[in-house]
Amino acid sequence: MELLDRKLPLDILMAERDEVLATWPTGQGAADLDAAFSYQAGCPPQKQFARVLQEAETDGATLMQPRAGVCLLASHITLLKRLQDEGQADLLPTTIDSYTRQNRYEDVNTGLTESQWEGRSLLNGFPAVNYGVAVCRQVSEAVGRPIQIRHGTPDARLLAEITLAGGFTAFEGGGISYNVPYAKNVPLERSLRDWQYVDRLTGLYAEQGIVLNREPFGPLTGTLVPPCIGHAIGVIEALLAARQGVQDITLGYGQCGNIYQDIAAVAALRRLARRYLERFDLGEVSLSTAFHQWMGGFPPEEDKASAVIALGALVAAASRATKVITKTPHEAIGIPTAEANIAGLRATQQILKMVGVQQPIESPAIEQETDLIERETTSILESTLQLGEGDWARGTVRAAEAGVLDVPFAPSRVLRSATVPARDLHGAVRFLEFGNLPLDDEVKAFHRDALERRARAEHRSVSFQMVTDDIYAVSKGWLVGVPR
């Protein structure tokens, strides 16, 4: 059957649930939905992700959330408590390990057993599926803040069943954003359909008055992704999620580094999401924004890394993003220790406190950049809708084939991968190659001109060398890549 953007019929969802829950023994623990509803209904207000986000959105505050997940239960709980108490994280994560992300639960078992033997984490996250509902509840009960599941899973149906029944109140991902940056060979029809399941399940909780938060993964490949790319995908995933009954959505954006462009990107994201949800009669959905501190390569030196973190905190606060996802001074090395994770939160908090009281940063240049991002994103969205003959799911599949939706540096074969980004003279991320993106001629001329001006200033021609230089620039102490 062709994939369409329609609310999944309940009987189809329920039949599919039986299959999903049967794929691993712990699935049965999530089978009783009424039990899951009544457990979630007992979640205190200060631990409800959607509620805490909406309060911040109303107050114009920016909340802090780290990434964190280890494999052993006691260590994971200790880690979250330290991030809450010593790091003062407003929102907590539980990052899932890579085997679980790939539905390789047998391999998780091996890693979990060995970790328990050795008494240290040999998996790169918390294996929620293998642990099952009861253990997830131990985690969610151990802390005083809302927790979100963060992962990178093309088929997250079982993970969602277990963690939502397990008391977590937010779930990251989407059918495009958790496919194309993370998988090579998963068809979009497949991942979009599997995420309709996740969203429909989230919607069932909402029907019971239990509003759980969903968040598409905005930064995608995290490598020089121009704002319009992540924005188009985020808006599509928001529309698809809302169609299935999701009531609270956070749209994310990964810091590019030019302050004007980054502030404009957050403003544009808000406006675009509102406009499209309203146009498709999904305007009842509550929206919020996530600002990801620099997702590209970090300087290896911890002091320099802290400075990059602080710049991200500044823009998060100045743009009034609802939350900022923090990085750590260990970013260049790998998964951070608790101490490094706390250091990232503390550096961020200092800046949020100092900047959050100031007026939001606005200027004509930011307005101009906001207009540009809205115009580009709208072009991509309208072409997608047209290709889908009015249907966002069908449109997404066709737009990816046509290169109308494309993501720089994505490993996925479902995309053309024909776009190439590079920075302009001021470090804003522009397009060097447009691939088949449906941008208008004026916009394309603007990008070409911006890169030409950089080339002249650097006494070289616009070329792929610039791109390589830009990819490493921040880690070497610059924003714009310098010729070697």
Minimum distance from residue 460 beta carbon to ligand 8ZB (Å): 32
Residue of 3, 21, 68, 317 interacting with ligand 8ZB (CB under 6 A): 68
Q: Which is nearer to ligand 8ZB, 125 or 203 (CB)?
A: 125
Q: In DSSP terms, which residues pair with 287 in a beta bridge? A: 249
Q: In DSSP terms, which residues pair with 291 in a beta bridge? A: 253, 324
Residue of 90, 155, 331, 406 interacting with ligand 8ZB (CB under 6 A): 331
Minimum distance from residue 467 beta carbon to ligand 8ZB (Å): 21
Give the amino acid at 484: R
Minimum distance from residue 325 beta carbon to ligand 8ZB (Å): 9
Q: Which is nearer to ligand 8ZB, 335 or 425 (CB)?
A: 335
Which sign does the torsion angle of CA 242, 8, 146, 101 carry? negative
Whether 128 contacts 184, CB under 8 Å: no
192 phi-psi bin (left φ>0, alpha ψ -120 to 50, beta other): alpha
Minimum distance from residue 284 beta carbon to ligand 8ZB (Å): 30
- Using the contact rule CB under 6 A, the part of the chain among 67-75, 84-92, 206-214, 364-372 near ligand 8ZB is 67-75
Q: Give dist(CA 87, CA 64) in Å, integer.
A: 9
Taking alpha carbons only, the member of 439, 448, 429, 446 closest to residue 380 is 439
Counting residues that bind ligand 8ZB (by CB under 6 A) gives 10
Q: Give dist(CA 199, CA 190) in Å, integer.
A: 14
Taking alpha carbons only, the member of 205, 206, 244 closest to residue 33 is 205
Q: Give dist(CA 454, CA 434) in Å, integer.
A: 18
- Using the contact rule CB under 6 A, the part of the chain among 62-70, 207-215, 301-309, 388-396 near ligand 8ZB is 62-70
Phi, psi of 145 (to 5 degrees): -125, 160
Minimum distance from residue 354 beta carbon to ligand 8ZB (Å): 24
Clarify whether 442 is annotated catalytic.
no
CA angle 260-261-265, nearest 5°? Answer: 120
Residue of 27, 29, 69, 216 interacting with ligand 8ZB (CB under 6 A): 69
- Using the contact rule CB under 6 A, the part of the chain among 64-72, 166-174, 235-243, 431-439 near ligand 8ZB is 64-72
Q: Is 237 in the site for ligand 8ZB (CB under 6 A)?
A: no
Q: Give dist(CA 393, CA 199) in Å, integer.
A: 14
Q: Is 67 in the site for ligand 8ZB (CB under 6 A)?
A: yes
Minimum distance from residue 68 beta carbon to ligand 8ZB (Å): 5
Q: Which is nearer to ligand 8ZB, 125 or 173 (CB)?
A: 125
Whether 59 contacts 188, CB under 8 Å: no
Minimum distance from residue 383 beta carbon to ligand 8ZB (Å): 28
Phi, psi of 189 (to 5 degrees): -55, -40
Active-site residue identified among 17, 67, 101, 320: 101
Q: Which tokens belong to 483?
A: 């010729």
Q: Give dist(CA 333, CA 48) in Å, integer.
A: 33
Q: Give dist(CA 433, CA 177) in Å, integer.
A: 21
Q: Which is nearer to ligand 8ZB, 51 or 330 (CB)?
A: 330
As a 3-state breakdown, the chain gives helix, strand, coil percent values, each rounded to 5, of 50, 10, 40
Q: Is 270 in the site for ligand 8ZB (CB under 6 A)?
A: no
Q: Is 336 in the site for ligand 8ZB (CB under 6 A)?
A: yes
Whether 76 contacts 168, CB under 8 Å: no
Clarify whether 172 is annotated catalytic.
yes
Minimum distance from residue 461 beta carbon to ligand 8ZB (Å): 33
Q: Which is nearer to ligand 8ZB, 168 or 260 (CB)?
A: 168
Task: Taking each helix axis as running N to C, give the angle between helix 10-21 and helix 188-207, from 0 to 180 degrees, rounded to the nearest 10.
Answer: 110
- Using the contact rule CB under 6 A, the part of the chain among 51-59, 63-71, 100-108, 444-452 near ligand 8ZB is 63-71
Q: Which tokens belong to 481?
A: 């890549």
- Using the contact rule CB under 6 A, the part of the chain among 3-11, 167-175, 327-335, 414-422 near ligand 8ZB is 327-335
Residue of 62, 65, 95, 289 interacting with ligand 8ZB (CB under 6 A): 95
- Using the contact rule CB under 6 A, the part of the chain among 255-263, 329-337, 350-358, 456-464 near ligand 8ZB is 329-337
Q: Is 296 in the site for ligand 8ZB (CB under 6 A)?
A: no
Q: Which 110-139 positions form the footprint of ligand 8ZB (CB under 6 A)?
A: 124-125
Q: Is 101 in the site for ligand 8ZB (CB under 6 A)?
A: no
Q: Give dist(CA 86, CA 340) in Å, integer.
A: 11
Active-site residue identified among 57, 161, 172, 331: 172
Q: Is 335 in the site for ligand 8ZB (CB under 6 A)?
A: yes
Q: Give dist(CA 352, CA 52) in Å, integer.
A: 17
- List Cα–Cα distances, 12 to 25, 189, 208, in angstroms: 22, 17, 20
Q: Give dist(CA 106, CA 215) in Å, integer.
A: 28
Binding site for ligand 8ZB (CB under 6 A): 67-69, 95, 124-125, 327, 331, 335-336
Question: Catalytic site residues?
Answer: 101, 172
